[in-house]
Amino acid sequence: MDAICIKDLKKDLKRSMDDSRFEHTLGVMYTSAALAMRHGCDLEKAMLAGLMHDCAKCMPNAKKLKIAEKNGLEITSLERKNPFMLHAKVGALLAKKKYDIDDEEVLGAIRWHTTGRPDMTLLEKIVYVADYIEPKRDKAPNLPLVRRLAFEDLDEALFRILSDTLDYLGDSPEDVDATTKETYDFYRERLQK
Ligand code: FE
Ligand code: FE
C-alpha cells in the first residue's frame, strides 16, 4: 500500500464525513501508526486500517441497513434496533467493494473495531485501542491510564477498555453486544483476572 493510495482515500473520506468524524479518523490513523511502531506491527496496514475504520459511519442508518441486507450480512436484533452499530461490518464491506482493499487483516481490523472479538490479531487490537484513546477522545473513563497502558501492555489496555465499556453499558444490559461480552470473557481468562 503506497502513500499515494492513503492520500486519495483520505480525500475521499474527507468528503463523506463531517469535520469531527474526519478529525477522529486522522487521530485513529496516527495513533494506530504509533502503536504499530511500539508493538511491531506493519505500519502501512495500521495506518490504512485506522484511516478506514469508520468509513461507513457517516452514511444514514437506513442505508447501512439496506447495504447490510443486500449483501447478506448477519444483522442481530440489537443492530436492527441501533443500525449505527452496523458501521463496522458495513465498513469492512465498503472498504473491500468500494475502496478495493483486499487485505484480510486490514478488513478484519475494520470489521471488529467496535466489539472486539476473542483472540484478536495484533492489528485488530491496535485499531480497537487506537479508536478509544486517540487524542480527540475526552469522555471515556480512565483515559490517562488506558493511554499509558496501550504503550506498555496492549492486552492490558484492551482488557481495561472492554471492562470500562461493559461497566458503562451495565445499566442497560440489553444494549450490550454479545461479542463484546465474549471478548471480555476471553481476555479475562487469558490475563487470569
Ligand atoms: Fe467506529
Ligand atoms: Fe472510530
Whole-number Å distance between alpha carbons of 190 and 193: 8
Residue 3 confidence (pLDDT) above 70? no
Q: What is the pLDDT of residue 174?
A: 80
Distance 189 CA to ligand 1 centre (A): 26
Residue 74 confidence (pLDDT) above 80? yes
Distance 91 CA to ligand 1 centre (A): 9
Whole-number Å distance between alpha carbons of 87 and 93: 10
Residue 193 confidence (pLDDT) above 80? yes
CA dist 159 → 134, 149, 152, 185 (Å): 17, 10, 13, 9
Q: In this structure, which ligand is nearest to the CA of 111?
A: 1
Distance 131 CA to ligand 2 centre (A): 5
Q: Residue 4: pLDDT band by 50, 70, 90 thresholds?
A: low
Q: In this structure, which ligand is nearest to the CA of 84?
A: 1
- pLDDT tens digits, residue range 8-51? 999 999 999 999 999 999 999 999 999 999 999 999 999 999 99
Under 8 Å between Cβ of 166 and 182: no
Q: Residue 79: pLDDT band by 50, 70, 90 thresholds?
A: very high
Distance 185 CA to ligand 2 centre (A): 23
Overall pTM surpassing 0.75 (yes/no): yes
Q: In this structure, which ligand is nearest to the CA of 127?
A: 2
Q: In this structure, which ligand is nearest to the CA of 134?
A: 2
For the record, the C-alpha cell of 166 comes out as 461493559
Distance 112 CA to ligand 1 centre (A): 9
Q: Go through the chain and tell me how many residues it has.
A: 193
Q: In this structure, which ligand is nearest to the CA of 56?
A: 1
Q: In this structure, which ligand is nearest to the CA of 110?
A: 1
Q: What is the pLDDT of residue 170?
A: 75
- Residues, CB within 5 angstroms of ligand 2 (ion): 54, 131
Q: How many CA atoms lie within 13 A of 117 on its CB side?
A: 13
Q: Which residue has the cell 464525513?
A: 17
Distance 13 CA to ligand 2 centre (A): 13
Distance 57 CA to ligand 1 centre (A): 7
Residue 106 confidence (pLDDT) above 70? yes
**Average per-residue pLDDT in the chain?**
95
Whole-number Å distance between alpha carbons of 82 and 75: 10
Distance 40 CA to ligand 2 centre (A): 22
CA dist 175 → 74, 76, 78, 85, 132 (Å): 17, 12, 7, 11, 19
Q: Which residue has the cell 481476555?
A: 187
Whole-number Å distance between alpha carbons of 110 and 192: 28
Q: Residue 173: pLDDT band by 50, 70, 90 thresholds?
A: confident
- Residues, CB within 5 angstroms of ligand 1 (ion): 54
